Chains A and B, each alone.
Chain A
Amino acid sequence: MASINKPLEEYASVKTWYQGLREQSGVEPNEDKSRLELLAEFCATLELDPDEIVAACLLRKEGKETKISIKGRRSMAERITDFQAKGGAEGRERAKRGNAVRSFLIHNGIQLQSGIQI
Chain B
Amino acid sequence: MEFKEVVGRRRSIRYFQSWRSVEREKIQIMLEAARLASCAVNATFLKAIVMIRDNIPRETLDALKTPVSGLTIELAPVHIYTYVDMGAYKGAQARLKKLVDVGALNISHGWSHKFVDEFVWPNILKPLAENPNLASVAASAASDAGIAICQAMLAGVDEGLGVCLTAFQHDAINKLVKAPKDWIPLWVLLVGYPAESWEAGGQRPRPPLEEIFFEGEYGKPFKGDPKVTEQMKAAKMIQAQAPLPWRKEEIKALARMFGLPE
**A residues engaging B (CB < 8 A)?**
21, 25-27, 92, 95, 99-100, 102-103, 106, 111-118
Shortest B66–chain A CB gap in Å is: 9
- Of the A-B pairs whose beta carbons lie under 8 Å apart in the complex, a sample of 24, sorted by A's number, is A25-B252, A26-B251, A26-B252, A27-B252, A27-B262, A92-B256, A92-B259, A99-B259, A99-B261, A103-B261, A103-B262, A106-B261, A111-B68, A112-B261, A113-B65, A113-B67, A114-B71, A115-B70, A115-B74, A116-B75, A116-B258, A117-B259, A117-B260, A118-B257
Q: How many residues of chain B get a CB closer than 8 Å to chain A's CBs? A: 20
B249 within 8 A of A: yes
Residues of A within 8 A of B67 (CB): 111, 113
Once bound together, how far apart are the Cα atoms of A109 and B258, in whole Å? Answer: 22
Once bound together, how far apart are the Cα atoms of A114 and B260, in whole Å? Answer: 7
Q: What is the total of A-B residue contacts with beta carbons within 8 Å?
A: 51
B204 within 8 A of A: no
Docked-complex contact A21 and B75, CB < 8 angstroms: no
Once bound together, how far apart are the Cα atoms of A27 and B261, in whole Å? Answer: 12
Once bound together, how far apart are the Cα atoms of A106 and B260, in whole Å? Answer: 12
B44 within 8 A of A: no
Once bound together, how far apart are the Cα atoms of A27 and B71, in whole Å? Answer: 22
Q: Give the residues from 222 to 262 in chain B that come closer than 8 angstroms, CB to CB, to chain A.
A: 248-249, 251-252, 255-262
Residues of A within 8 A of B75 (CB): 116
Residues of A within 8 A of B255 (CB): 99
B18 within 8 A of A: yes
Residues of B within 8 A of A106 (CB): 261
Docked-complex contact A116 and B259, CB < 8 angstroms: yes
Nearest chain-B residue to A21 (Cβ)? B262
Residues of B within 8 A of A111 (CB): 67-68
Docked-complex contact B74 and A102, CB < 8 angstroms: no
Docked-complex contact B251 and A113, CB < 8 angstroms: no
Residues of A within 8 A of B71 (CB): 113-116
Q: Mark B69-83, 1 if CB is under 8 A from A, else 0.
A: 011001100000000
Shortest B195–chain A CB gap in Å is: 11
Nearest chain-A residue to B74 (Cβ)? A115
Once bound together, how far apart are the Cα atoms of A31 and B261, in whole Å? Answer: 16
Residues of A within 8 A of B260 (CB): 99, 114, 116-117
Residues of B within 8 A of A102 (CB): 261
Residues of A within 8 A of B261 (CB): 99-100, 102-103, 106, 112, 114
Once bound together, how far apart are the Cα atoms of A102 and B262, in whole Å? Answer: 9
